[in-house]
Structure 1
Amino acid sequence: METTSRVAGETGPAAQGVPGARRAVDGFLMAAFPWYGLDAAFTGPRWLMQVGTAADGTVEHGSTGHGVEPSLRGETGPDGQSFAVVVTVASRPVRRSADGTGVLEATSVSTAAWLAGSGLLSCSWPLEMELALRQDWLDQQTGVAWELADDLGGSGWNTLSLPVDGVPTDFHYRESEYGWVLAGSAQEGVHIGAYGRGMSAYGLGFGVVKDITEYDA
């Protein structure tokens, strides 16, 4: 899979935006690509998560949240949460690392799928699981998410058509007991991933965020 997700400091659940670990809007304003979120049909709360950057500080991806921010508190079960997170990933070719000693792999739809899958896991916690076992569970499930993202044509995925800037677009889509994940590409040189719980993916639409500062209100 062509992805930057194995490059240190760029991706993974921490860079994705674990609930409560938001950065200021400044990081989003530094991006050289457009951000995506749910379109105007969604009228609920909107909030920022984190951006992921390369070693040279270039913004590679970031996430915008919609609905009620997910919580890892044990008393908050999956049935009590309703949110959708949209991950925007810049489309990048294979390129040299900032220090010139290596190569950064290209980004792809698989990159968006991996970020969305790991993001969903970062805000999931089986209620019957002890705290001491969570990291083992997270490592195991993250490995599964990686394998799924590397096989978008496999049986683990279905096709779901949703509007992107008003244009019907095919996404790779899958559901699990923890929520849903989807991934596809936009017309603006970016890949889109999304994940959520308690909010159906079937009625969603995506659009360019015209003013990202509105998410930081």
Structure 2
Amino acid sequence: MKMFNRRSNAYVTWILLIITIAVFLLETLMGGSQNINTLMMLGAKTNNSIQIGQWWRLFTPIFLHIGIFHIFMNGFTLLYVGQILEPMVGHWRFLVIYLLSGITGNLASFAFGDSNAISAGASTSLFGMFAAFLALAMIYRENRFLTELGKSFLGLIVINLLMDLTMSGIDIWGHLGGAVGGFLLAYALSLPSIKRPKIYIRILALVLVVAVSYYMYTKGMIVYG
């Protein structure tokens, strides 16, 4: 199995990072990245807003950040992990995993999280990226490179979730939802030009992503409706 790890191939990662930084600068110019009015105007997630029909708030929070430390950590993680994952899975697969796992994370936050909290950040997508490595390691168990990556990122997921439990203001449900989404999407998309896993497993993974997302959306609407 041929693996690619050329940083020059990770242009989607760089585009996502540039957009994220640009949005942060816009936040700053509009009143500050920790200003509630600014965050809400630019699309931060609140459960009540989604419940009244502002569904785009399941997507826009991926590019919003609260404070310089928040964007620095998430931006650095996106750049570092993206330069490994994107050349491996391909540009469009990487973009799908990043964006849709971010949405599944925000759906989990909507269904199970604090109804009064304002949520923003790329961490839902980042957990999806972490979990994608775990899925690839399970699909290609004979590949030592992927196996070691999978173990490393599984450890990273566990450590971060344990830290979530000890820190206030952290959306653990968003992180869990992003990880589930990224894991299933990586199973559905796999690696380019390689016929694994079998097609019925890919279809099942895709159906599960849709079913879980629909369940979380309807649960959020019932709980907060």
Output the TM-score relative to the length of structure 1: 0.29
Higher relative contact order (CA 8 A, sep 6+): 1
Report the structure number with the largest CA radius of gyration: 2
Higher helix share goes to which structure? Answer: 2
Structure number having the greater strand percentage: 1
